[in-house]
Structure 1
Amino acid sequence: MEMTLIFVTVGFLAALQMAVPFIVKRTVVFGVTIPVDEVKNKQLRHYKKLYAILTLFVSIIVLATYFIWASMNTLTENQLIFAGLFMPFIILLISMALYFYFHMKVTQMKKRGQWFKDRKQVRVSELNLRTKDEMLPWIVYVIPMVITVGLVVFTLLNYSSLPDQIPTHWGPDGKPDAFTGKTYLSALTLPLVLLVMNAMFLGINELTRNSGIKLSAGNVKSSRVRQLRLRKYTSWLLFFISILVSMLFTFLQFTTLYENSVSDLLIITMPLAFSALVLIGTVILAIKVGKKDSDLDVEIIDESSGDVINTDDDQYWKGGLFYFNPEDPSIFVEKRFGVGWTLNFARPLGYIVLIGPLLVILIVTLL
């Protein structure tokens, strides 16, 4: 069962990585802004296809190598699972190396072609667009927090039933391999960490809601639809992940209370199932958003054939991945390569929302 979940997780990850160049905005190719009239450039399309083929090839090699290695060696279940968990990181590492290679190639093409020279660059926004925003309200994110508070109360009521040694870490086989003495703080570590994570999800959703909605100068109608879909489905995915995290932590807390009532197989498969469900949710988000391209609907493109194009803001994107723009009040902006949002690293509030909870979690776990 655990092997199946590993293969499913890696398969979804590989499929998502292969699809990324085709589901992001068409005027952004490997993190580089291009004009609408270059969207159908044969060389750029070749780069996208080559990236997808190479990613597929690498994924197949990684999976085949893992399967052959596992079949030819007498390994413990722990070793097999531990090695399997590293496969997604290998695929991500190699796909990111491919991304940076093609990012460099597209950047060189852009410089040689002088695609933005002597063309009027504009930014487009609609003041009333937020009235159509369908992101989940903040009150919805309180639901996981209520569940977590209930878990805290349940733990306190059953404190006397807890073992003298509280698990603090679980190995690849699902069995705890590190312990600490029973105290109220150690017993409540998981629920407290979960509560901080719930608050972080709430903060991310609200900061995303307040971020700017950027439209395409040459394709306002289509980009409007894409932006609204992105915001709506990202909000739902974030809530879905928040619920999944709450379920996972609740399960781990119950295994602490009733350590002999849960099978080792279930302890192993729960985190793997969590990873698989998150990946599936991400793929669904990519499909929902990718259906509507933000920068190319031939029937509605008007100004793109002239001298008016979107602003070339590559200067604010480091490597096409990291956004640093002090002039942009948005805390979160749409990713250039991938699905969802990324941080505007020029805004200190973003660090507080993301790094602050991580520091609190670190302090709680160390105590």
Structure 2
Amino acid sequence: MTHDTPPSPGPSDPYADALRAGRGRSWLPLLAAALLNLGLIVAAWLALPGLPDRIPTHWGPDGRPDAWEDTSLGSLALGPLISLGTCAVMALTIPLVRMGAGQPTAAGAHGPAEPNPWRRFQTEGTARGTTVLVGVVMLLVSLLTVPTTLTVLGGGDGALPWWVMPLGATLVLGGTLLAMGPIVAWQQRAMRARAAEAGVRPTPEDEAEDARWTAAGLMKDPEDSRVMVPKRPGYGVGTTVNVGSRGGRALVVGFFALIAVALPAVLWIAAFSAR
């Protein structure tokens, strides 16, 4: 009678614990958004018996309701239900994105075929920053449902102050663009400090490569005249903008002006005019 020899364990990863430590904290903003929506849904369910037969379900830019439906949990808590579902989708999507970002990259694509220890910490910081950013965006979007839900629960005509809707849109659109770089950079700095504690230091090549990119994943290489370039490994697939080129800077400024300035301005003007 023979016995199979158990396989010997592979070499342990000396950086696994450092890379995992504190990872759960990056999910707190998304958890807060989910709990906020869940709380609104519960409040709507408890208040349902005392509400009139029809309630407002849509508001114009000036905060006045312009559509009504028969009272039900779905019509009362439609916004929180959609936001809670979106939080669930994001919670499922983020691990898939993290798995894709962690795959080895092809040699020559501005990164080694196998990530070195420094790059692993940098990629972990990027993944955590992206998780925090998604949570912050979902929290901002979820906050938009608070005034409309509470005004219906409170009875009355359901009207909101004229500035509520444009202010909410400004916070979501402008806040997302303004927070993107700082949030990811914050998490990358934290992982660089953790890498130093683990004895991992960047090589001159790593430092040169880091200098070519912003925390938000945009290239900043003035020696490259291309406007659109392949994304940095760890930031997904596809292309991104090279803000080191004149055309890239113009593209980013124009996009920011449209999303964070022009669109909110239109909403503010429409709401002020209709008040």
Normalised to the residue count of structure 1, the TM-score between the two structures is 0.41
- Residue by residue over 1:56-81, the C-alpha shift from the partner in whole angstroms, topping out at 9 and shown as x without a partner, is xxxxxxxxxxxxxxxxxxxxxxxxxx
Q: Deviation of residue 269 (structure 1)? A: 1.4
- 1:247 aligns with 143
Aligned with 1:172 (options 32, 45, 61):
61
- 1:269 aligns with 167
- 2:124 aligns with 228
Report the CA distance shift for 1:130/1:168 in structure 2 as closer, same or farther (over 3 A): farther
- 2:35 aligns with 146
Aligned with 1:136 (options 4, 21, 24):
24
Report the CA distance shift for 1:224/1:210 in structure 2 as closer, same or farther (over 3 A): closer
- Contact residue 155 and residue 188 of structure 1 kept, 8 A: yes
Q: Deviation of residue 237 (structure 1)? A: 0.9
Q: Deviation of residue 182 (structure 1)? A: 1.7
Cα distance in structure 1, aligned partners of 2:162 and 2:77:
23
Q: Structure 1: state its 5+ residue gaps.
A: 1-125, 305-318, 323-329, 339-367
Report the CA distance shift for 1:184/1:217 in structure 2 as closer, same or farther (over 3 A): closer
- 1:337 aligns with 240
- Contact residue 255 and residue 262 of structure 1 kept, 8 A: yes
Q: Deviation of residue 150 (structure 1)? A: 1.9
- Residue by residue over 1:129-158, the C-alpha shift from the partner in whole angstroms, topping out at 9 and shown as x without a partner, is 654145436974444333322211211222
- 2:6 aligns with none
Structure 2 matches for 1:1-367, cutoff 5 A? 131=17, 132-133=19-20, 135-136=23-24, 140=28, 141-213=30-102, 214=104, 216-217=111-112, 220=116, 223-258=119-154, 259-260=157-158, 262-285=160-183, 287-288=185-186, 299-300=204-205, 333=236, 336-337=239-240
- Residue by residue over 1:277-323, the C-alpha shift from the partner in whole angstroms, topping out at 9 and shown as x without a partner, is 2222113246558999xxxx88246xx9xxxxxxxxxxxxxx9789x
- 2:270 aligns with none
Q: Structure 2: state its 5+ residue gaps.
A: 1-11, 106-110, 193-201, 210-227, 242-275
Cα distance in structure 2, aligned partners of 1:186 and 1:337:
40
Cα distance in structure 2, aligned partners of 1:174 and 1:262:
5
Residue type at the aligned position of 2:171: A
Report the CA distance shift for 1:207/1:251 in structure 2 as closer, same or farther (over 3 A): farther
Q: Secondary structure at the match of 1:264?
A: coil
- Contact residue 135 and residue 209 of structure 1 kept, 8 A: no
Normalised to the residue count of structure 2, the TM-score between the two structures is 0.53
